[in-house]
Structure formats: structure tokens, C-alpha cells
Amino acid sequence: NPKELAKLGIFTPLARRYDERQNSSWIIPNQKIVAVDPDLPGLQKFIERQKQTDERPTQGQGTRSTSQEVITRPPALENSLNNFFRSLFDLLAAWLRWLFGGSGDKEPRSKRLVVDDDGNFRWFFEDNPKRKIEFRIVRASECPNDEAEFGKPSVNVLLEWEQRAGQGDLATFAELRGQADNHFISNPQPPSNGPKPPIEADSVLVKVHDSDFKVFDASDQQHYSQTAGKLSSEPIVAVMDTGLKYKWDKTSVKLTYEDGTPFQFSIAKAPGGGCLPGANFGYCSIGDYLRRPTPPFTQLATLASLTTAEIQASPYDDHLVDEQVVGEETNRERVGRHGTFITAILNRHGCQVLPVKSFNCAARGTLFDVLSGLNYLIAQKRAGMSIKVLNASFSGTLDASGLDFLYKKMKVLTDLGVWVVASAGNDGISLDGTSIYPAQFGLSGGRYSIEKVVTVNSNYDGSVQGNTGAAVSITAYSPRVGGFPSAVAVKDSAGNVIQGTSFAAPYVACALAKLNTTGLSKTQVVSQIVTQTIGEVTFAT
């Protein structure tokens, strides 16, 4: 039901809003991620136009306004009237070819693919080489792929097409390096259920609130530049999540430590330049945000007055929902800020954070969003930023092509020396034999094993809470009843606790970031982590 999905924060036009099942994974069936040669004819021109468009305010704007404005539909999403006349023309042309003895086939498949100025091109599905389809580039990733991923230069491009045109893999062409469905990424669930945000271990999402997204402005840059200078000796942990509510100190509801003293966040400053020169304090990679959705999608109306470049440089945590928790009679209202609470744990225990917002206000993301976020981290690491750990408190069930894309990206990042701490998930299942990633990258000896991925589950209330299996390397133990210390005061929690493996992960990530891991194997690193205590939290294998 499109209306129900709209409530859950899947912000795409109605004609494209689907989450159909394919095997055990959830995808957007009329979107495809393709890795292509940057020299694909017409692509560089489109990318340059994308950069220019990113810097411009919404058409018709003079000065910046906070009121909701109508956003013109980008060329890649022309209305269906043009498609109707194009289809009518194609039908007439085919009839004329048949009438005068033509073969009825479309142009030969050997013809090169060329992208036009608006990012459109016509090409084939692999299983129907006689019918050309109109494809549209939704977005090209701002940062290129590392050459190690496909052995040649490449860039990830998100494509879409009209749902009625069919579904499948694109027919190969000379510049194609790889392709995958655009999967939803969130918290893993048993096969009978759809994805849900990683908020509580046993909860059901009942409402997504309108985004309160805010730009990382000049005052924020000044404030966090000073903070970063004072804390430059602290290790850096990248957090790929819902972002960080970095303007919390400017709101009427103050964020405090448990003892009531003010809490201040510590954001690591990235080097300037590179593929995203303006994103020095983190990055927002969410494609639906960067497109500045058109009305009636009022949940994201706050983005209407912003440029795409401003959104990219603002990893703001707008995650805010109502949820029904198993065993409770009333809903928990206006809870969330998932990435913010992870950052608070890391900051509280002596780690700086580089926030990457790849999950929206409903705590959902897509594979393309995650890959784009990882590209940003790889670029910052190559530019000399001393990122030691990536905290990955998310997961998705991926098919073979999606897994291949994510594996290649994670492998490049870890080969650069960044360790990944992945949450195991909160479903009480064994990960053995599943396709839940990045948690399963922690499995030793498998085809998709990555040595520098440490998968974490949790233990509180006297028992293991979360998923188990051979991929799990370490368990975080909390002495508190009901969950882990949150580092800051928590609404409606007398013990200031938060539940789930999502919040076990940052304790492990901070412990790992403080180690000198040069030349150490995962087994050696884990053996050192279990000797540490981070606040009240201890660890065991």
C-alpha cells in the first residue's frame, strides 16, 4: 500500500514506491546500481551538470526562505506524457517496418550507449534484446570507486525506469563494470517480516515524524573546528547511521550527562579538497534527500529551500518516530536519533566521530546510499584522515550482486587500515547460513570474509540479547538492567539505558580505536579488547 509505505518514510514518487520481495531481499524493483567507466559517452557532461545543479537553490528562489516551495521536477523525472508520445512513435515506427518488410528489430545491440544532457539513454534488458527501454540517471556518486574494486576506473550510477517497462539486468555494454539491485538496508528481520529501523530490540514502527533536517552552517563550522582542535589526539571513529543532531545545544531540550552537566559533541574535521570539498564535518549520502523531493512529500519539506551541496555537507540526525514496544500498553512517542546516541557513547568515552548520514528520518537507507557513504570515507582516508574504525550498526539481506558491491567497498576500506565494527542484529536468530551483512563479513574462512570486520552481540539482564553465530567475534556485557548505558539522559528511562546490538557496537568500536592494531590479526585484536572496560561495559568472546 503506497500510503502505508509513505508513512514509513520511503520517499519516492508513488509510481516508483515499491518494496516487493525478490528472493529473501528487499529492493526497489525499477532501480539499478551500475558501476561504469567514467568515460561512458555523455556521463562526464552529466556529472558536471549535476555538480552545477547541486550548488544552485531551487528554481525561482531569490533569498533563502523557510517556507515550503514547489520544486521543479528534475529532467530525469519528466512526466509520463512524453513517454506516452515516445511509445506511440515507437509503435508507429515498428508498424511501418513490418508493413514495408522490415525485420521489426530495434537498433543493433552493437550500437554504443550514449547518455544525453539530461542523463537519459535507451538500452536493453538482458532478457529482451529487441526492446529498448528509456533509462534515467537518478544520481552519479560524488566520489568515484577505488580502482581496486573492479580493476579499472569506475563510478557508481543509480538508474531508474518506468515500472511498467519491466525488470531485470541491463544487457552488457563496453563500459559496464557491474550492476546490482538497489536494496533496502536497515535492521535484519526473520524471513516472514519486512525491514524495520534499528531502534528497539522488540518494537514496531507506527509513525515517522516530519524531518527537522538542519544545515551545518558557519556557526557550526566555527564551533566544531575549535572542538576538533582541542581533541585532535582522540582516535577517530566514523559512524554510518542516521547522522548526528549537532544543533542539540541550540534547542530548548538540553542534552546532558546522567549527572545533569551539559553534553557537547566532538566531530572530527576531515581534510579539505577531494571529491566533496565542502563536506568537512561529515556527509549526507541519502539520494532521496539530495534530490529534494517534490510535494506532496511533506515529510521532507524542510529540504525544499536548501541546495544539494548544503544537504551533502550536513549529516543531521532527523530520525524521529513513534514505536510500539512489545509488552507495553502505550506507544513510545518521538523517539529515535539513533546515530546521535551512538555518537554520544563514543564521545563520552574519548573517541571523536566523523558522521556519515546514510539513513533517513525513518532509519532506512538503500544500498546506493551506503555505497556512496563508504566512497566518502575511502576518499577521506586516502586524503590522510586517521579514521581507525567504522561503526556499522545496520544491516541488510543482500542477493549475490548487491553483496558483491558491498564486499568490494568494505574490502577497500579495511585494506586501507580501517576496522569495521558491525552489530549482529536484534532478532534472536543465528546468522549462520544467512545473507545478513555487514555482520556476516565477520565470518572467518568464508568467500566474503573480511579480516578487519568485528561483529558484536550484547548481553544484559543475564543473557545474550541479539543474533548469534560463527560470525560473532565478541560480546559486550552491560551491568545495568534493561540495556546499555546511554552516555546521556534518556527520555522515559529511569536507568538511562538503550537496548540492542546497535548500542553494544560503539563500546567495542571505541575500545578498538584506542588500540595500536598495526600488524595484529583479528584474533589478537579481540583478545586485547576483552581486557578493557569502557565505562561500565566489559567484553568477552
At 465-497, the pLDDT tens digits run: 889 999 999 999 999 988 898 887 666 666 778
Give the residues across from 472 on adjacent strands: 455
Task: Give the tens place of pLDDT for each residue, 133-151.
Answer: 999 999 999 999 999 999 9
Which of residues 331 and 24 earns the better pLDDT score? 331
Which of residues 153 and 466 earns the better pLDDT score? 153
Task: Give the tens place of pLDDT for each residue, 377-411.
Answer: 999 999 999 999 999 999 888 889 999 999 999 99
pLDDT of residue 271: 87
Please give the average per-residue pLDDT across 264-280, as a whole number.
87
Q: Residue 27: count other Cβ atoms within 10 Å of its Cβ.
A: 24
- Cα separation, 292 vs 295, whole angstroms: 10
pLDDT of residue 397: 86
Residue 196 near residue 205 (C-beta atoms within 8 A):
yes
Q: Write out the three cell numbers for 295.
A: 510535494
Residue 193 near residue 203 (C-beta atoms within 8 A):
no
pLDDT of residue 295: 54
Most confident option among 3-7, 59-63, 204-208 = 204-208
pLDDT of residue 200: 39
Identify which of 483, 489, 513, 407 has the alpha carbon closest to the alpha carbon of residue 451.
407
pLDDT of residue 203: 60
- Residues 91-119: b if buried by 16+ CB within 10 A, e if exposed: eeeeeeeeeeeeeeebeeeeeebebeebb
Confidence of residue 24 (pLDDT cuts 50, 70, 90): very low
The answer to whether residue 21 scores a pLDDT higher than 60 is no
pLDDT of residue 13: 31
pLDDT of residue 522: 97
**What is the SS3 assignment for 194?**
coil
- Cα separation, 56 vs 218, whole angstroms: 18
Q: What percentage of the chain carries pLDDT values higher than 70? A: 76
pLDDT of residue 420: 98
pLDDT of residue 500: 87
DSSP string across 53-117: HHHSPPTT-SS--SS--PPPPPGGG--HHHHHHHHHHHHHHHHHHHHTT-----S-TTSPP---T
pLDDT of residue 28: 79
Task: Give the tens place of pLDDT for each residue, 342-368.
Answer: 999 999 999 999 999 999 988 889 999
Of the listed ranges 6-20, 94-108, 262-276, the least confidently predicted one is 6-20
Element (H, E) at 202: none
Q: What percentage of the chain carries pLDDT values higher than 90? A: 51
- Cα separation, 27 vs 120, whole angstroms: 22
- Cα separation, 157 vs 492, whole angstroms: 43
Task: Give the tens place of pLDDT for each residue, 211-248.
Answer: 999 999 999 988 888 776 666 789 999 999 999 998 86
Q: What is the amino acid identity at position 198?
A: P
DSSP string across 270-296: PPS-TT-TT-TT-EE--HHHHT-PPTT
Please give the average per-residue pLDDT across 497-506, as a whole number.
90
- Cα separation, 121 vs 93, whole angstroms: 19
Confidence of residue 19 (pLDDT cuts 50, 70, 90): very low
DSSP string across 429-488: -B-TT--EETGGGG-TTSTT--TTEEEEEEEETTEEES-BSTTEEEEEE--STTSEE-SS
pLDDT of residue 185: 85
DSSP string across 419-435: EEEEE--SSS-B-TT--
Q: Share the mean pLDDT of the chain.
A: 80
Please give the average per-residue pLDDT across 68-96, as a whole number.
38
Residue 333 near residue 205 (C-beta atoms within 8 A):
no
**What is the SS3 assignment for 239?**
strand
The answer to whether residue 307 scores a pLDDT higher than 80 is yes
The answer to whether residue 249 scores a pLDDT higher than 80 is no
Q: Which residues touch 436 (CB under 8 Å, ≥6 apart)?
A: 188, 395, 396, 397, 425, 467
pLDDT of residue 301: 86
Residue 295 near residue 68 (C-beta atoms within 8 A):
yes
The answer to whether residue 250 scores a pLDDT higher than 70 is no
Please give the average per-residue pLDDT across 175-180, as a whole number.
97
Place of cell 554504443: 112
pLDDT of residue 94: 46
Please give the average per-residue pLDDT across 56-67, as a whole number.
45
- Cα separation, 50 vs 326, whole angstroms: 45
This prediction has a pTM of: 0.84
The answer to whether residue 195 scores a pLDDT higher than 50 is no
- Cα separation, 185 vs 183, whole angstroms: 6
The answer to whether residue 196 scores a pLDDT higher than 60 is no
What is the sign of the dihedral through the CA atoms of 175, 180, 186 and 188? negative
Which of residues 100 and 534 earns the better pLDDT score? 534
Of the listed ranges 77-91, 321-335, 401-415, 451-465, the least confidently predicted one is 77-91
